[in-house]
């Protein structure tokens, strides 16, 4: 009877909703660097930290390994993948291409559509400026992520959106890990405003160029910081 109940509990723990919850919770901890690069723990330790049972954490870890966020080490537990500068360089190559094209597509839309997305992007940039003035780095990072996600999503290219979704978790991890070391938060606000203005006036070439310059500068600032952490392997 005890064995039957244990099997029933394990089966209940495998329900999609519980696994999805564990996946979302673990992913959020990784994205925000609360599970920092190189962090290693057993499934049971992670389950206790998240207030969950071990089975959904195990299933979630398998999915996160497929995402490239963790590695499952037999008899050693789960390790959070490091942020390697070489991998981030590849990610930025993709981000620069996607966001530049997204900005151009937005600039080519009808005036009413441009006005709507400009308003949304301007509000997120204002939130960044407010967070910077309040020295709230976490809020700045989240507003920055929302700006870039919105830029791509509002462009309406489904394939670009799907590709972007697969790489933004790594980009956000790098953003949050290095925020305290970055010195040019004000530059990001000014560059966002330049992207917005190019979209507002419908200048696709300028919008693409401003987006390219912005992400290229961010890449050139971030990669040396990751090097300083000595994290070289995913």
Is the Cα dihedral 99, 122, 157, 203 positive or negative? negative
Neighbours of 54 (CB within 10 A): 17
For residue 234, the model assigns a pLDDT of 40
**pLDDT tens profile 102-121:** 999 999 999 999 999 999 99
**pLDDT tens profile 36-80:** 888 999 999 999 999 999 999 999 999 999 888 899 998 889 999
| Domains along the chain with CATH numbers | 2-80 (1.10.10.10), 85-229 (1.20.120.530)
The pLDDT of residue 233 is above 90: no
d(CA 91, CA 122): 25
Structure confidence at residue 20 as a pLDDT band (50, 70, 90): very high
Q: What mean pLDDT is predicted for residues 123-128?
A: 97
For residue 15, the model assigns a pLDDT of 61
The pLDDT of residue 6 is above 70: no
Cβ within 8 Å of residue 166, ≥6 positions away: 67
For residue 229, the model assigns a pLDDT of 64
Q: What mean pLDDT is predicted for residues 122-144?
A: 93
Alpha carbon dihedral 67, 23, 62, 168, in 10-degree steps, equals 10
The pLDDT of residue 89 is above 70: yes
pTM: 0.76
For residue 2, the model assigns a pLDDT of 44
**pLDDT tens profile 174-195:** 777 777 777 677 889 999 999 9
CB 96 within 8 A of CB 217: no
The pLDDT of residue 170 is above 70: yes
């Amino acid at each position: 009877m005890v064995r039957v109940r244990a099997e029933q509990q394990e089966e209940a723990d495998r329900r999609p909703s519980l696994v999805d919850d564990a996946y979302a919770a673990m992913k959020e901890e990784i994205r925000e660097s609360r599970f920092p690069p190189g962090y290693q723990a057993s499934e049971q330790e992670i389950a206790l930290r998240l207030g969950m049972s071990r089975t959904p954490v195990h299933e979630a870890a398998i999915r996160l390994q497929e995402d490239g966020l963790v590695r499952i080490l037999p008899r050693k537990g789960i390790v959070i993948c490091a942020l390697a500068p070489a991998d981030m360089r590849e990610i930025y190559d993709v981000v620069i291409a996607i966001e530049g094209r997204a900005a151009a597509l937005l600039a080519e839309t009808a005036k009413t559509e441009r006005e709507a997305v400009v308003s949304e992007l301007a509000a997120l940039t204002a939130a960044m400026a407010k967070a910077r003035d309040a020295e709230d780095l976490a809020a700045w990072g989240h507003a920055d992520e929302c700006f870039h996600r919105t830029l791509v999503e509002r462009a309406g290219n489904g394939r670009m959106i799907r590709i972007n979704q697969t790489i933004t978790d790594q980009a956000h991890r790098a953003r949050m890990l290095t925020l305290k070391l970055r010195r040019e938060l004000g530059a990001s606000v000014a560059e966002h405003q330049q992207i917005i203005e190019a979209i507002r006036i419908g200048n696709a070439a300028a919008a693409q160029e401003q987006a390219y310059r912005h992400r290229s500068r961010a890449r050139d600032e971030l990669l040396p910081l990751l090097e300083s952490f000595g994290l070289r392997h995913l």
